[in-house]
Structure 1
Amino acid sequence: MNAEFLAFSILSVFAIGGAVFFLNAGKVMHMAIALAFTFFSLAGIYLLLQAEFLAVVQVLVYAGGISILMIFGIMLTKPEEGAPSRSFQYHQWISLATVTGFFVIIMTIIYQTPILTPAGKETSASVKSIGSILFKNYAIPFELASILLLVALIGAIVLARKEQK
């Protein structure tokens, strides 16, 4: 076991743990912290894969932007009157067993699959090459995604204005 495998194991456990905590948290603020924790762990995994650009984008866009969006969500929603029940229901046990089984199956497939990488076929994804591909080959989907985000933003503003009146 080398240091890279150990770092990957720790970061993946943190990412999965943050996601599970996000799903089971009772308060929105705890959810936002767990989500940011998950995104930072994923950025660490990107760094281990030598994808520095993706790690920085992960932190800037997701850990920064989504966390700020969650905080705005906290400010715009009313707190719940009653506390959620903390009993562990039977459907949660079924979900836990299903996820554990799925995890075992995926890990078995991953460890039994031979990974063949031809020598000399390494490609480096620089910011210049990613930008070139994005704006030459995928310009229309990029613009459609930006229009979709703009429409979602306008819709959120309209919904927030209706609640104030």
Structure 2
Amino acid sequence: MFNGFSDFMANGSNWMFLVFSLMAIGGAIFMISFLKVVHMVVSLALTFISLAGLYVMLNAEFVGFVQILIYGGAISILMIFGIMMTKHRQGEEDEPKRPWHTALVFIGALGLFGILFYAIQQSTFTKGEFQAAEDNTMAIGKLLYSEYVIPFEIMSVLLTVAFIGAIVIAKREEE
């Protein structure tokens, strides 16, 4: 059952994969389990940053750094709008705790983990060498500004209009 596990864990990149994947899963679980908006957003940011680490490990540096830049900025805006547009009620009771929900979720998660672990142990993976491009960021840049320049510009205009629309909606509710 654990025949190749020690060889797998002897490699440092596999340890980094394990750390980043556990951070991504943990951040996602915390995101859906927290009740305060700020805590949810910080957990979501942890998930995005750990996914960026996984992208960098896959030699997709451009995607990893874009993940940090765009989602880092988006998370900041989401936090600001989330705090500004939600009503914070002090002193109200939270919904009643249901311990059997937690137990069922825990049993379901363990069952899913067991099924996935069994499926991975029983499958055979072919060994092959990954041939990464010498400079994939330059290749993406050349494609982005030659073949895909029109969709790139349309997307920038669309994002600008969406941001202005969000400001108008926030101003309208303020008045």
| Aligned positions of 1:1-165 closer than 5 A | 1=9, 2-62=11-71, 64-73=72-81, 74-81=83-90, 82-85=92-95, 87-88=97-98, 112=123, 114-115=125-126, 117=128, 122-124=131-133, 125-165=135-175
Q: Which runs of 4+ in 1 moved over 4 A?
A: 89-111
Question: How far 1:45 moved relative to its partner?
Answer: 1.5
Aligned residues: 162
State the shift of 1:145 in Å: 2.4
Structure 2 unaligned runs (5+)? Answer: 1-8
Change (3 A) 1:97 1:115: farther
Q: How far apart are 1:151 and its partner, in Å? A: 2.6
- Unpaired stretches in structure 1, ≥5 consecutive residues: none
Q: Residues 61 and 137 of structure 2 are in contact (CA less than 8 Å); yes or no, is this contact kept in structure 1?
A: no
Give aligned-pair identity as a percent. Answer: 39
TM-score by length of 2: 0.73
CA distance in 1, matches of 2:43, 2:137: 29
Normalising by structure 1, we get a TM-score of 0.77
Shift of 1:53: 2.6
Distance in 2 between residues matched to 1:34 and 1:95, nearest whole Å: 19
Bigger CA radius of gyration: 2
CA contact 1:26–1:84 (8 Å) conserved in 2: no
